[in-house]
Amino acid sequence: MTSSHSLDSSFLGGRIPPEIESMSKNLKDVDQEMFRKILKAVVSALEGKDCREVMKSIAESSTIPQERLSHIIAGMYRVLSEAIRIPTASLKQEAFRDDLRELRIPEDFITDFSSVVFGNRRAALDAATSQNDPHLPTLEDFKWRVDVAISTSSLARALQPSVLMQMKLSDGTFHRFEVPVSKFNELRYNVALILKEMNDLEKRNILKIQD
C-alpha cells in the first residue's frame, strides 16, 4: 500500500461503492443538524440497536424526499462500516479525511465522520460489531473443586483426590465433569504448551509488520 492518495489506495479500495457515490451527490442538501441526527442513528444501527423509530421520525421531519434520504443514509452507513473494519493502527486520521475529501464530502461532515471512527466510542463500536461474527464459544465462567474420595463401596480407605470442574460457555452451554488427576496434568501441560506456542507466534517477524 502506497501513501499517495490516488483513488486506488482509498480506504474504500479500488472501486467506490455506488451508495457512497450517490451519497456525496446528495449531501449538499443536508444541513449540519440533520446530518448529525442521521449520523447518530447510523452509529446505533452499527452497534446493533433497532433504530426504525428514529429513522421514521427523521424521515417525517425532513423536507428531503425519501428516496434521496435513503441514498444518504445508505452511503453514510457504508462509509462508517468500511472505516471501522480497518484497525486504527492501519488507517490514519489524515488519510481518512483525505479520502473523504476526494469524494467531495463537505469538511464539517468529514470532521463528524472522523469523530466516530477515531473518537473514544470506537472500542465499544468494534466490540459490538464483532459480536455478530461466527466464533466458537468462549469460557464465560469456570469453577472448580478438589475432592478427596475417602471411602467407596469397593474400598474402605481410598484417599484418592480428584478435580471437579464446572464450565459455562458464552453460548449458554454448561458442562460439569470430573477430571482424574492424571487427566488434569495432561490438561495443564497442554494449556502451557499452547501458551508457549502463542508466545513464539507473536514474537515472529511476520506479526510485527504493520500493513
List residues binding other proteins (CB under 8 A): 84-87, 90, 126, 129-130, 132-139, 142, 144, 146, 148-149, 152, 154-165, 167, 169, 173, 175-181, 183-184, 186-188, 190-192, 194-195, 197-198, 201-202, 207, 211
What's the angle, vertex CA 95, arms to CA 92 and CA 96, rounded to 5? Answer: 85
Residue 107 vs 195, nearer CB to other proteins: 195
3-state secondary structure of 106: coil
Question: Residue 25: what residue type?
Answer: K
Residue 34 vs 163, nearer CB to other proteins: 163
Residue 107 vs 178, nearer CB to other proteins: 178
Residue 61, Cα to own-chain centre: how many angstroms? 32
* Exposure string over 1-22, b if 16+ CB within 10 A, otherwise e: eeeeeeeebbbbeeebeebbeb
CB of 29 to other proteins, least distance (A): 31
* Joined grid coordinates for residue 94: 489524515
> Which residues touch 24 (CB under 8 Å, ≥6 apart)?
75, 103, 104, 105
CB of 90 to other proteins, least distance (A): 6
CB of 200 to other proteins, least distance (A): 10
Residue 28 vs 204, nearer CB to other proteins: 204
CB of 36 to other proteins, least distance (A): 24
